[in-house]
Amino acid sequence: MSAVIRLPAEQKYEAELAALARKDEGSRPPGWRLSPRAVATYILGAGKPVDGVAITPKFIGDASLVEVAIATLVSDRALMLVGEPGTAKSWLSEHLCAAISGDSSLIVQGTAGTSEDHIKYSWNYALLLAEGPTEKALVPSPILRAMEAGKFARFEEITRTPAEIQDALISLLSEKQVAVPELARIAAAQRGFNLIATANTRDRGVNEMSAALKRRFNFVTIPVVSDLRQEIEIVTKREAELRSDYQVEPTPPAELVAMLVTMFQELRAGVTKDRKTKVNPPSSVMSTAEAISVLFNSAILAQHFGDGAVGPKELARSLVGAVAKESAEDLKSLREYNETVAKGRDGLWKTFHAEARRILKAS
C-alpha cells in the first residue's frame, strides 16, 4: 500500500489507462493520450475487461452528459462543470484530465485570494533581484505550464475568485497565449491544451461570471442524483474505496446504506419517497459526497470505538455532526424527520430512531 494519502487519478488507475491505450484504435485529437471513446470508457467503466484489466466506473450517472463534456474538450472550447456541492464535479474534472493528458495536477483552486499570478505567472523574487527578469526567475502558473506542455489545466470553484481575476482568463482562452513582457516573449499554447473549470451553483451571485467569460466555455450541469439505486451504488463504491485507502475494515451492511441514502434524498427533497409526508429540509448540503463521508465516518467509529459492526448507532452519531455543521437550527429538521418519518418505519429504522433521539436530546 502506498504511503501517500491520496494518489492522483493517473497513478491510482495507471493500469486501467495503460490497458485502454494498448487497445485504443480510435483517432486521438492532438495531444490526447486516448481517443474520445476510450476516455468515455475509462470514465463510465467497461462491461468486460480490456486487455485483461477491469475498467471500473469513475462516474456513475448519465453517459450522454459525459460524452457531451468530452466532445466539448475535443473542440477549442473550455469546459465548465456546474452543479450543487457534492455532485462529483471536481472528481469528473480530475479523471478527464488523467485520461486525456495523463496529468491531473495542473490545478488552480479558486478562492477570494486567488490572484492573476495564479493564472499567468509570478517571479522568484530572490533571483529577480539578483539577475533581473530571466527564464530561470519566472514561476509559471499551473495554467501556463499546461499551455506550454499541451495538457489540460483545472480551475476549481471559479466563481469564488474576484471578477477581475476571472476576466484575466478571457484573453487567455481566446488567444491561447500569455504575454510575458518582461522577457519580451509570448508563451503560446501547444496543441492538447484546454481548461476544465467547476462552479458551485450555491455560489451563484458571489462573483458572477461575465457574459464574455461565459462565452468561452461550454456549460455542462452535473445534476443531483435522484435515482435511489444509482445513489446507493455511488455511495457504496466510493465509501469502499475510502475504507481500502485508510485501512478501515468494518463494511456497512447494504440495508444501512439504503437507509442512509433514502434519508438524504428525503431531506433534500423535503418529502418522503412515497410523497405522503412533508419534511423540513435542512440548510446543510445533503449531497452524495456528504452521504459518503457520513458512512465512512460510521465505519471508523465502529472499528475504533464500537464492536466492529457498523450500525444505526454509529450512523446516528455521524449524521448529527454532518447536519449541524452549518447551523445548529438544522438539528430541528433532523429531529422532526426522526419523529415523523424514521419512527414509523421498521427494521433498522426503529433502532436508528432510538439512537438519533438520544443523541439529539443531548445536542
Mean pLDDT of the chain: 93
Query: Grid coordinates in use for 122?
Result: 509570478
pLDDT reported for residue 103: 97
CA separation for the pair 143, 129 (Å, rounded): 25
Reduce the DSSP state of residue 227 to 3 states and report it: coil
Contacts of 342 (CB under 8 A, 6+ apart): 263, 349, 352, 353, 356
| φ, ψ at 290 (rounded to 5°) | -70, -35
Query: Grid coordinates in use for 116?
Result: 492573476
Reference 263, options 282, 249, 248, 244; nearest CA is 282
Beta-strand pair 194-200/78-83:
parallel
- What is the dihedral sign for C-alpha 159, 288, 35, 154? positive
- What is the dihedral sign for C-alpha 92, 95, 99, 103? positive
pLDDT reported for residue 207: 73
- What is the dihedral sign for C-alpha 282, 283, 284, 287? positive
Assign a CATH topology to domain 9-222: Rossmann fold (3.40.50)
Q: What is the mean pLDDT of residues 152-160?
A: 95
Q: Has this prediction a pTM greater than 0.85? A: yes
Instruction: Summarize pLDDT for 191-210 with one digit per residue, the tens.
Output: 999 999 999 887 665 678 88
pLDDT reported for residue 324: 80
- pLDDT at position 6 over 90: no
Instruction: Summarize pLDDT for 322-360 with one digit per residue, the tens.
Output: 888 777 788 999 999 999 999 999 999 999 999 999 999
Share of the chain above pLDDT 90, in %: 85
pLDDT reported for residue 203: 67
Reported as type and span, the H/E element at residue 315 is helix 312-324
pLDDT reported for residue 164: 87
- pLDDT at position 1 over 70: no
pLDDT reported for residue 110: 93
**What is the band of 2 on the pLDDT scale with cuts at 50, 70, 90?**
low
- What is the dihedral sign for C-alpha 53, 59, 60, 61? negative
Instruction: Summarize pLDDT for 268-297 with one digit per residue, the tens.
Output: 999 999 999 999 999 888 899 999 999 999
- pLDDT at position 144 over 80: yes
Contacts of 115 (CB under 8 A, 6+ apart): 165
CA separation for the pair 41, 329 (Å, rounded): 44
Contact between 20 and 42 under an 8 Å Cβ cutoff? The reply is yes
Hey, how many other C-beta atoms are within 10 angstroms of the C-beta on 31? 17
Q: What share of the chain is helix, strand, coil (3-state, %, to 5)?
A: 50, 10, 35
pLDDT reported for residue 323: 87
Share of the chain above pLDDT 70, in %: 98
pLDDT reported for residue 310: 97
Hey, how many other C-beta atoms are within 10 angstroms of the C-beta on 109? 15
Cα distances from 318 to residues 85, 234, 281, 295, 348, in angstroms, run 19, 19, 18, 8, 16
